[in-house]
Structures are given as C-alpha cells and as structure tokens.
C-alpha cells in the first residue's frame, strides 16, 4: 500500500490501486481503438489539371520530380490524373528544404 510519512493509514488500498490501473488501461485502449476506427480527414482537395495550370514541361527548372507533392510513378497528391516526371503546375512545392 502507498503510505505517507505522517499517516499510518494507506492512501490507497492494493485493491483500489489495481482497480485504478485496470480502469486507466481500459480507458486508454478504448480511446486508441475508437481513434483508429475513424476515417482520416481528407484535408487536401483533388484538383483538375486546368485548375493548377498543369503542363508536361518543366518551368524555370522546376518539375514534378522535384516537387514535394509528387509520389513517384506518375502520382501526385493533388491531381487525380497521372503526371509527367518532367511536368509542372502552379502548386509546385520544393521537394527539399534548404
């Protein structure tokens, strides 16, 4: 039992301590499983090529291959249609910082 220096009576009995630990674990498990079952929020809006002024050629040395939004194999985070590795759009973001 947990004791204090000034009291001879335990603050929590062993049974109370075990109940508190079990309750905390159940609560944590419930929160984690409910969070895992929620679908992720989709914060990125998929755009058309026209909306982002997409072109198949690079612009000022910038291309999809150097963009943070490019996922490889012609896939872009914000475009539904495949893109060229050498393409460019107005949403271009440098793939590396610095």
Q: Which helix (H) or strand (E) holds 25?
A: helix 14-37
Which token pair is 95?
A: 């793939």
Which token pair is 35?
A: 């969070």
Which tens digits make up the pLDDT trace of 37-87? Answer: 666 666 789 999 999 999 999 999 999 999 999 999 999 999 999 999 999
What per-residue confidence (pLDDT) applies to 5?
61
Q: Distance (Å, rounded) from C-alpha 65 to C-alpha 63?
A: 5
**All structural domains of the chain:** 1-38 (no CATH), 42-98 (4.10.490.10)
> Residue 3: pLDDT band by 50, 70, 90 thresholds?
low
């Amino acid at each position: 039992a947990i004791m204090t220096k000034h009291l001879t009576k335990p603050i929590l009995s062993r049974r109370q301590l075990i109940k508190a630990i079990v309750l905390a674990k159940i609560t944590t498990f419930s929160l984690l499983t409910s969070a895992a079952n929620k679908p992720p929020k989709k914060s990125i809006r998929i755009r058309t090529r026209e909306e982002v002024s997409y072109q198949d050629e690079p612009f000022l040395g910038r291309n999809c291959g150097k963009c943070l939004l490019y996922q490889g194999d012609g896939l872009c985070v914000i475009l539904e249609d495949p893109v060229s590795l050498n393409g460019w759009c107005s949403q271009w973001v440098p793939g590396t910082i610095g």
